[in-house]
Chain A
Amino acid sequence: MRWLRALLLLPILSLSLGAANPVLVPDVSQRKIDIVYSFTGAELLMFGAILYPGGRIPTEKADIVVVLRGPSQPLIVREKQKLGGLIWVNAESARFLSAPGYYAIASSRPLEQLVDERTAAIYELGVKNLQLSPASNEQPETRRRFEDGLIGLFSKANLYVEQPGSIEITNGVLYRARLPIPARVPVGTYVTETFLVKDGRIIAVASKEVQIDKSGFERFVAESARHYPLTYGIVAVLLSLLLGWGAAMAFRRI
């Protein structure tokens, strides 16, 4: 997917060299977000500058779209149905090979005013345009239903965020976007992409990476649970024995 997009971007890059198109210089407030014991979510500030050739700012201003995307993972979406008019049971399911665990998009104006549907689909702008790569071959409408279910669930958990019109562009040059990151985000390498849009065309793209990872004690616990499950289990049992016994001893004195 990423290769395909890189290929699609090539003509734009060559074009920008030839016609001296503007260049984006993006940055983020944090290159690395640590999840520690007190982590309840974070806010990532994505900012940067639009460098116009010769420093001349055109009268007709361009727009900015910023996307922050977490690592993709295969997952299965299940749908509950009422069984025999009695209880709700998971019935149908659909698999998706690459659903991003987090996706946020912010733009200086509502997306539909910036690009047409085809461009939005190519660059995966907007949660409706995410390429979730369905693995099972259902009817398109069934697939759409499951995609909507997945998107609805992730949106409710603030894992899929759309903030149209939230980017400010100062003096037509400096832009900034704030994106919320909830406590439940998956860890991994996140990619931010900044798009410069003018007349329905994307004329410049720049990207940056952000690492979100557990650190300190939380990292130690998660790593131990995964790599040393036997030791981890023994420690968990010993801890509970010790706490139980300790409390019994402490209360006997009182």
Chain B
Amino acid sequence: MSIAENHGALYEHLARLRDSNGEAPDNIFKALGYKYIYVKEGNDLSHLIKAFREVKDSDCAVVVHLNTMKGQGLPVAESNKEAFHFAGPFNPATGAPVHQAGESYNDIFARHVLNLMSTDKDITVLNAGTPGAIAFGPERREAAGKRFVDVGIAEQDCVTMAAGMAKAGQKPLVGLVSTFLQRAYDQLSHDVAVNNLPVAMVDFYCGVYGMNDVTHLGIFDVAMVSNIPNIVMVSATNAEEYLAMIDWAVDEKRFPVVVRTPGGKVVHSDRPVNRDFLRYDVVEEGSDVAIIAEGAMFANAMQAASILKEKGLTPTVINPRILSDVDRETLDKLVDYKMVITVDDGILNGGFGQKVAAYLGSRGPEVVCLGLKNEFMDRYKAMDVLRENGMLPEQIAALAMK
């Protein structure tokens, strides 16, 4: 198993090795000069100890190939391998999760994209070993058939294969987890962006509400992606806007588009979506102070605005959408403001806020950029981090009142 099922010729090879008790010809490990040992009973202590003793203090490179059972010893895990790769709290007898999952952006994404694919036969979804993370579980993968491609845990291959498909006139839609997108930087830059190929990408588990352990942080994707030439990166603030961005990204042929999935709970809005995603969306017109906040932070900006309005102030609130460039026309209207506050859902360095500050420069308003520090946090509480960085609504409001 990967997280889901394996994909790749290597796995058929490993199957031949298992089926032949390690004797199959064309052994890839031997090809590369390794001594090779197969352990059929990879969950049996005697066999394991014997094999490890055999290779201890070896004088060369050696492979010990263990055949193990994922989930061994917990029946629900043995027979639901994909679901039990990682599980929140659950009932060990039944496997049922303790907490019912609410609505998620991932699920909204997958449901919508499958729908798109039923009428648009040029769309292929590509992923690298994390289909569950983009809510393409077994049933949805089956429904998508040949137009869902899991290349295995190979993000570089995934992005570049999408580039090849875009060159051939198809509409590839790459879905990758934010922290794993990092592994494909040169493929974004050299393969997709230099060639300006119309690959659509959606990244997941982004921002402060994403995964919170040090090696799975989703707070660097904007810095990484939005500063590569030719790539247009946009960030959604609610489900309706998110889906509209995906529709646009899939059809946009002039440049590659990366859509950032908002973090946190799903937000719905019945305000008509402003579909000019290369422009900022001025959601509330005001004066003197403007708050520009992307993605999941937009809600904080709106709440801050409510607080300010109670104090008699009329802030302008802007949803930037585009992170890879600034909307000069909209920013030019802010030059007479006293203060412009930007809020990045990610690190400050390389985020959209710094681009705003650079553009406004010393032309007028005081520009204050809020966002996360340049550090690797580990097992943090989102609320604590937001508070430390002054990004809670009441803190933004307090800042604006200065």
Are A and B part of the same complex? no
